[in-house]
Amino acid sequence: MSESVLGLIVTFLAIAINLAGQLGSYRLLGFGYMRSVFVGFALGGLTLGLGELARFMGADMAASRILVLLAGDGAIYVCLGYLFFNFINSGESSIRVRILWELRHAATPLDEAGLLAIYNDDLILSTRLARLVRNGQVIEREGRYVLHSSILVLMARIMRALKLLIVRRESEFD
Amino acid sequence: MIAVLLAFGSFAAAFLVHLIVWRIAVPAAALRAAAAIYAVFLVAAASGALAWAPGFGLDDGAYFGVLYGAIALCYLLTYTGIEADSPTLSIVAALAKGGERGVSAAEMVAFIRRRPFVRSRLLQLYRDGIVVERDGHIIASPHISFMFALSEFYRRLMGRTGKGG
C-alpha cells in the first residue's frame, strides 16, 4: 500500500474517532458542548498519533521525509477537525442557519418584518452575552459586562488584522 | 512526499494570487471568486503533477486533493468570517474597549443596533440564491435542503433542541 493511501486511512480513522468521541462524550457521558468538542478532537489526535507511530516506527525512511508526511497528515486532521467543528457549530451560532430554520418552521411564509419580529439583533446580543457569561468569558458586575478572556481578545485581534490585510476594512458595517 | 509539498506550495500560490487580486479590488461575488481561484490551482497543480511529475500516481493525486481541499475549505470558511463580522467577536471587541470598567447593557444594545447582523445575513442569502422573495415573502430554496437537513440531523443526534443562532 502506498504512503499516500496509508496516510489517508490513518487521518480518516482519526476523524471518525473525533466525531464518535464528540458525540459519545456529549450524549453518553453528559459532557458540555465545548468540552465534548475538545474531547473528540483530543481522541482523534491520539488515534492519529498512534497510527503514525505504528506506521513509521522502524521504517527505513529519512527523518525529513517522515516529518513532511506527518505535516501533511497533521494538516488534514486539523483542517477536517476545524471543518467538523464549524459544521456542528453552525447549528449553534450561525445566523444564516437560524434564519433558514425560522423560515422552514414558520406556520405561514414570513416577510422580512415577520422574520425580524421573531429573530433580531437584540436576540443575538442577549443570546451571545448570556453564552459568554455562562462560559466565564465575560463577568456581569453591577449591571456592566466586563471581558474576562484574553483568548477571545486575541481571536478578535487576529480577525481584525486579517480583515485589514485582505478586505482592507475593520467591519462589514464600515 | 511530493503530494504534501505540492499541496502546501499550491495553496500558498493560490493565497498569494487571491491576496493580490483583493488588494487591487475586492470582487463583487467575493466568496465565489475566491473559491474559483483555489479550484483553478487545485485542478492545475493536480493535472500538472499527474502529467509531468515522475512517480506521482493517482493515489498521490487523491492525497494531494484531500490535503489541498481541506486547507482551501478551511481558509474559505475563515474567509466568510473575514468578509462578514462575527457577532460574538464584535461584542468581544466592544467589551475590550470598555476595559476594567466594562460596558453597560444599554451601551451594548446601542452598539448592536449599529450592526444589523440579521438583515446583513438575509441579504447574503438573497445574493447567494439560498432564499428568494415571492409575493413579499421570503422563501428558502429547495437546493439547500441537504446541508440544512444534515445540520439539523446532527443536532438531533446530539439531542440539542434549542434554536441556536
- Mean pLDDT within A1-17: 92
| Contact between chains at B95 and A91 (C-beta distance less than 8 A) | no
Q: Which amino acid is at A91?
A: G
pLDDT of residue A68: 94
Distance CA B154, CA B159 (A): 8
The answer to whether A126 faces chain B, any CB pair under 8 Å, is no
- pLDDT, residue B115, reads 92
Question: Cβ A147–B96 below 8 Å, yes or no?
Answer: yes
CA atoms in the 13 A half-sphere facing the CB of B144 = 20
Instruction: Render pLDDT for A121-152 as a digit per residue (tens, 0 to 9).
Output: 999 999 999 989 988 899 998 889 999 988 98
Partner B contacted by A110 (CB < 8 A): yes
Higher pLDDT, A58 or B92: B92
Q: Which of B1, B15, B80 is the best residue to mutate to test the A interface, defined by the most A CB atoms within 10 Å of its own CB?
A: B1
One-letter amino acid at A125 equals L
Q: Beta B103-104 vs A144-147: how paired, if at all?
A: antiparallel
CB contacts of B100 in chain A (<8 Å) are: 146
Asked if B98 lies within 8 A of A146 by C-beta distance, the reply is: yes
**Would you state the pLDDT for residue A58?**
79
**Gap between the Cα atoms of B93 and B144, Å rounded:** 33
The three grid cell numbers given for residue A98, joined into one nine-digit string: 437560524
The string of pLDDT tens digits covering residues A108-119 is 999 999 999 999
Determine the Cα–Cα distance for residues B70 and B50; give it in Å rounded to an integer: 20
Q: Does B23 touch chain A (CB under 8 A)?
A: yes
Q: pLDDT per position in chain B (165 positions), as tens?
A: 899 999 999 999 999 999 999 999 999 888 889 999 999 999 999 999 999 988 889 999 999 999 999 999 999 999 988 988 999 999 999 999 888 899 999 999 999 999 999 999 999 889 878 899 998 999 988 766 677 778 888 888 888 776 766
Q: Is residue A104 over pLDDT 90?
A: no
**Integer Cα distance of B77 and A162 in angstroms:** 13
Instruction: Give the whole-number percent of chain A exceeding pLDDT 70.
Output: 100
Neighbours of B156 (CB within 10 A): 11
- Picking from B19, B10, B20, B7, the residue whose alpha carbon sits closest to that of residue B63 is B7
Q: DSSP character for B84?
A: S
Q: Which residue pairs, CB below 8 angstroms and at least 24 apart, start in A63-68?
A: A65/B1, A68/B1, A68/B4, A68/B5
Please tell me the predicted confidence (pLDDT) of residue B5: 95
ipTM of the complex: 0.84
* pTM to 2 decimal places: 0.85
Give percent of chain A above pLDDT 90. Answer: 62
